[in-house]
Amino acid sequence: MQKFLAFMFPLLLSVYVQGVDGSIGVNYGTVANNLPAPEQVAHFLLESTIINRVRLFDANPEMLKAFAHTGIAITVTVPNDQIPHLTKLNFAQQWVKTNIVPHVPATNIVRILVGNEVLSTANKLFIVNLVPAMQVLHTALVGESLDRRIQISTPHSLGILADSSPPSTGKFREGYDSHVLKPLLSFLKATNSPFMINPYPFFGSSADILDYALFRPNAGVLDENTKLTYANMLDGQLDAVFSAMKLLGFTDVDIVIAETGWPSKGDTGQAGVDAESAAEYNRKLVQHVTSGIGTPLMPNRTFETYIFALFNEDLKPGPMCERNFGLFQPDLTPVYNIGILRPTAKANFPSYPTPAVRPMPAPKGKTWCVPKSGADEEALKRNIDYACGLDMEYCEPIQGSGACFYPNTVRAHAAYAMNAYFQAMGRNDFDCDFRQTGAVTNKDPSYGNCKY
């Protein structure tokens, strides 16, 4: 175990974020007049966070230069109004030469998005030209020998679904299914690119289903067709998209979550719109999509996910919540912390805002979280990785000469790490679940100088 810890602890942050096939990124929007310079943002993300992917809503050269030599994977976007022009090879070639070629390989551009939620615009000119534009743009990448380095895709809102509840009945809207989405999926499969969606449980939530939307304990929702129970809304949304793809014969195209998030502030009367709920959603989102659990219809997988958004954007139109989806304020202080700050940065920032009061049974006396008696050792190792990846301070006592290093066993180290996380999160029973390997106890597991 000592050798395991010595090699694993320097890697824990990256293991936690990337999972097996997934990773966590952010949407870097700029609809604001008070944002820091792109160079400052790139340096902050690289040095102070464990974010390793960024989605841009354009191909701004200043921003692309700012991310040069950082290694951060960058996704750029072609605006919707450029889609018809991209169907012409000369235009596509010039777009690539102007917006991509000058920046690679110094800037790690990995994907180009052609438009955003194009089908939801109902603009026929954009819609009929979407797939042809993607095909021609791919040809332009081939001409620059960049087709194996850079993927092409386009994100969709869940408005592309005609049915989504229960998830097994998910299907695309008639007309779009065969004329747009089937050829789109064929292109994505041929180019090894993902199908990208923008699921927002926030917009589907209400006071009576808030627990279901926020990954809290709830009764779940049974899909009578599959007899599978859904514990959270995001899984239901993802599986509805998967079912729609399956109807068209494409179960082997990856799904990427291009946008999802939760606002920290909103208009009066909006249920669950506060900093605590936003922190809870995004923290549990990261845990869920990188855990390898998958969804009921897509088990044992991770999902590349981009949180919306990096900053609160003060010029965005619409209700107040639209301007408050950010993880960070323009001065780079966190609105709340979901575990993406490096330990060196955390010393300077508050971990969480003052929690909003919400009804929850208070624990009777102090409680602790320990591994269940039959918990698998490999599962406990993953628990160590997860808890320590959130905050290395949780795990200092089980390293080297720490007070809790002995007994030097996986179970003992997991007990300390799991409990440290449990205590930090507020001693809620669901924070001791750890994929059903943890149990809450009222017996203090402290011993000697090792204090839990």
CA distance 365 to 112: 54
Neighbours of 348 (CB within 10 A): 10
Looking only at the bridges linking them, the beta strands covering 305-307 and 368-371 are unpaired
Q: Any bridge partners for residue 26, and if so which?
A: 54, 307
Separation of alpha carbons 171 and 2, rounded Å: 51
**Secondary structure (DSSP) of 275-344:** HHHHHHHHHHHHHHHHSS-B-SSSBS----EEES-SB--TT--SSGGGG---SB-TTS-BSS--S-B-HH
Q: What separation, in Å, do the N-terminal and C-terminal C-alpha atoms of the chain show?
A: 20
Counted residue by residue, the chain has a size of: 452
The answer to whether the beta carbons of residues 268 and 253 sit under 8 Å apart is no
Residues in contact with 158: Cβ distance below 8 Å, sequence separation at least 6, in sequence order: 164, 197, 198, 199, 200, 237, 240, 241
Cβ atoms within 10 Å, residue 18:
17
Residue carrying structure tokens 């009777």: 364
For 85, list phi and psi in degrees, rounded to 5: -65, -35
Which amino acids are annotated catalytic?
A: 117, 259
Cα–Cα distance for residue pair 67/109, rounded to 1 Å? 10
Q: Which long-range contacts (CB under 8 A, 24 or more apart) does 318-324 make?
A: 319/266, 319/267, 320/263, 320/265, 320/266, 320/267, 321/263, 321/265, 321/266, 321/267, 321/270, 321/273, 322/263, 324/263, 324/264, 324/265, 324/266
Residue type present at position 33: N
